[in-house]
A and B are shown apart, each in its own frame.
Chain A
Amino acid sequence: DQQVKQNSPSLSVQEGRISILNCDYTNSMFDYFLWYKKYPAEGPTFLISISSIKDKNEDGRFTVFLNKSAKHLSLHIVPSQPGDSAVYFCAASYGGATNKLIFGTGTLLAVQP
């Protein structure tokens, strides 16, 4: 049962334009959401997170939006740069006594110069 889903395996965007990566989840108990970026042969790198009590969090070129009623979150990257080309994973956690992350399957972003 895939509780966190990233339905787009890949996305191609022109440099300077907006990249929008989407993520859906099924478990309403999730209360913390994160986005990680991963380059080949490296571990995931933390990008940005959002608590379920918020609907938006911004950090430089990265903004995460959370729509709890739709159980949907998205990551916006503006402007996109070639160095942003990587696999992006969204992840969710329940909080509580543990913090295990449930990951989506990832979206490969290619930013074309």
Chain B
Amino acid sequence: DSGVTQTPKHLITATGQRVTLRCSPRSGDLSVYWYQQSLDQGLQFLIQYYNGEERAKGNILERFSAQQFPDLHSELNLSSLELGDSALYFCASSTRQLETQYFGPGTRLLVL
């Protein structure tokens, strides 16, 4: 158990819908990262927050957004969902920006 929690574990929704994925980092970790793992793309970095501020963006679609709240939990919002958004979404956290990242169990999203 890495100490990073993600909810929900599974999510099934329809095209065009909007969903919110939630991540609670390890106790004391200030930095949160979101990654997407799809079948043909491997693990891809989406976005990083550090102590509430966005620090880095990867190949995150404009339909996707994220935020980190004062209690340091983070949410990833996915809107106007498409079939191709079906993937595993992982959250990771680290104590500071350059420390080892620890991953949560992931949220499996299926868009029908």
Q: Do A and B bind?
A: yes
- Are the C-beta atoms of B104 and A100 separated by less than 8 Å? no
Determine the residue in chain B with the shortest Cβ distance to A43. Answer: B103
Shortest Cβ distance from residue A7 to the other chain B in the assembled complex, whole angstroms: 13
User: Hey, which chain A residues are within 8 Å of B83, CB to CB?
Assistant: none
Our count of residue pairs bridging A and B at CB distance below 8 angstroms stands at: 63
- Are the C-beta atoms of A97 and B90 separated by less than 8 Å? no
**Among the listed A32, A42, A100, which residue makes an inter-chain contact with B45, where contact means beta carbons less than 8 Å apart?**
A100
**Among the listed A44, A91, A99, which residue makes an inter-chain contact with B99, where contact means beta carbons less than 8 Å apart?**
A99
Q: Does B18 contact A (CB under 8 A)?
A: no
Q: Does B67 contact A (CB under 8 A)?
A: no
| Distance, CA A98 to CA B99, complexed state (A) | 10
- Are the C-beta atoms of B45 and A101 separated by less than 8 Å? yes
Shortest Cβ distance from residue B110 to the other chain A in the assembled complex, whole angstroms: 14
**Among the listed B48, B99, B103, which residue makes an inter-chain contact with A100, where contact means beta carbons less than 8 Å apart?**
B48
| Distance, CA A97 to CA B55, complexed state (A) | 8
Determine the residue in chain A with the shortest Cβ distance to B55. Answer: A98
Determine the residue in chain A with the shortest Cβ distance to B94. Answer: A99
- Are the C-beta atoms of B98 and A99 separated by less than 8 Å? yes
Shortest Cβ distance from residue B73 to the other chain A in the assembled complex, whole angstroms: 16
- Are the C-beta atoms of A104 and B42 separated by less than 8 Å? yes
User: Hey, which chain B residues are within 8 Å of A36, CB to CB?
Assistant: 103
User: Hey, which chain B residues are within 8 Å of A104, CB to CB?
Assistant: 42
- A residues 24-46 touching B (CB-CB < 8 Å): 32, 34, 36, 41-46
On B, residues with C-beta under 8 Å from A are 2, 4, 6, 31, 33, 35, 42-45, 48, 55-56, 58, 90, 92, 94, 97-106
Q: Kindly list the 7 A-B residue pairs having the minimum CB-CB distance in the complex, ordered from nearest.
A: A43-B103, A98-B56, A103-B43, A100-B45, A105-B42, A44-B103, A43-B105
